[in-house]
């Protein structure tokens, strides 16, 4: 295979998307250049697809995406170095072009696709982090298999902490991604997600003693490695932030708007949205069990694929049902 001239490839891509003057921002994920174009019609799909090194072109989530695979990073570097274009976060845009669904009657399919696009945009910023942590776990597993004594070393333990951290603190990472898509202040969503993982709250969950907030019972759930509670919370906090910053007078806004966001957002999250994530996770588990009854051995793969969407209790339930009715799949932790 001939060596690719990344400078020439970058130049050809820029020419065929309409030049730097047609580029609002350019960013990337793991395999794709992601352009937010001023005029989508100026991009020449056919010409770009024919370029050596380009694997395809996709338009979605308001972004013109050029699939480059292993050629991505050198091409991105060439574009940044040689063209005056603004770089942006992968999911910094609100993607109203795809999500608004203007001009037609919304169907269940439309809402479903809107939700999928929102989830995809929210997860994109830290997918590479999960890849890295997952591969680190593989390396640690291989090391412990071939040299069991290594697990007692502090070096192994410290690397293990690193490999587990992105999964344990997934609610915080998800809160950041969702808030960026919603164009809200990520600090609010991150703080509330961190409160769900706070050590003293985790101790309450472990103890199992009844806990109330504002006189209402709190469902004690471990939110580590969960996704849906953070997504639900980030959506709520985005609306609360916009509301309180609009209605509170300017001279009081900087102090009392954040206070009100937390006074309203955290109780709703801990009393309603967090447990709602558990309920939705349970629904997913019920669907898995139904699928297992019809597709047999595919159920463990389905469980693994949607593992991040399940609550802690839901994962245990899914694993237990799969163990009882098909094969042992272990705890998905």
Residue 63's CB is within 10 A of a number of other CB atoms, namely: 25
DSSP 246-312: HHS-HHHHHHHHHHHHHHHHHHHIIIIIHHHHHHHHHHHHHHHHHHHHHHGGGHHHHHHHTGGGS-H
Q: Are 314 and 282 in contact (CB under 8 A)?
A: yes
DSSP characters over 179-216: HHHTTS-HHHHHHHHHHHT-HHHHHHHHH----EETTE
* Rounded Cα–Cα distance for residues 222 and 316 (Å): 12
Rounded to whole angstroms, how far apart are CA atoms 93 and 87?
A: 12
Show which residues are catalytic.
29
Distance CA 161, CA 163 (A): 6
């Amino acid at each position: 295979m001939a060596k690719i001239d990344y400078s020439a490839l970058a130049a050809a891509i820029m020419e065929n998307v309409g030049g730097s003057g047609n580029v609002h921002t350019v960013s990337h994920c793991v395999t794709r250049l992601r352009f937010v174009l001023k005029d989508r019609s100026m991009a020449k799909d056919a010409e770009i697809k024919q370029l050596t090194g380009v694997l395809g072109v996709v338009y979605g989530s308001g972004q013109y995406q050029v699939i480059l695979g292993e050629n991505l990073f050198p091409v991105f570097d060439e574009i940044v170095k040689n063209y005056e274009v603004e770089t942006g976060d992968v999911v910094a845009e609100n993607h109203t072009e795809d999500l608004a669904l203007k001009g037609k009657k919304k169907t269940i399919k439309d809402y479903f696709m809107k939700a999928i696009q929102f989830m995809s945009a929210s997860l994109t910023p830290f997918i590479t982090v999960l890849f890295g942590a997952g591969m680190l776990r593989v390396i640690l597993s291989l090391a412990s298999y071939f040299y069991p004594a290594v697990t007692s070393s502090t070096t192994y333990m410290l690397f293990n902490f690193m490999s587990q951290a992105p999964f344990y603190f997934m609610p915080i990472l998800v809160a950041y991604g969702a808030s960026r898509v919603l164009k809200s202040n990520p600090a609010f969503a991150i703080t509330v997600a961190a409160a769900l993982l706070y050590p003293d709250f985790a101790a309450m969950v472990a103890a199992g003693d009844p806990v109330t907030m504002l006189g209402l019972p709190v469902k004690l759930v471990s939110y580590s490695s969960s996704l849906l509670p953070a997504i639900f919370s980030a959506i709520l906090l985005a609306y609360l932030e916009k509301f309180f910053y609009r209605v509170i007078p300017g001279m009081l806004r900087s102090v009392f708007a954040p206070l009100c966001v937390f006074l309203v957002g955290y109780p709703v999250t801990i009393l309603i949205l967090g447990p709602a994530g558990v309920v939705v996770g349970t629904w997913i588990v019920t669907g898995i069990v139904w699928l297992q009854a019809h597709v047999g051995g595919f159920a463990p793969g389905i469980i693994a694929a949607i593992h991040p969407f399940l609550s802690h209790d839901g994962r245990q339930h899914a694993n237990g049902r799969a163990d009882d009715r098909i094969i042992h799949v272990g705890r998905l932790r």
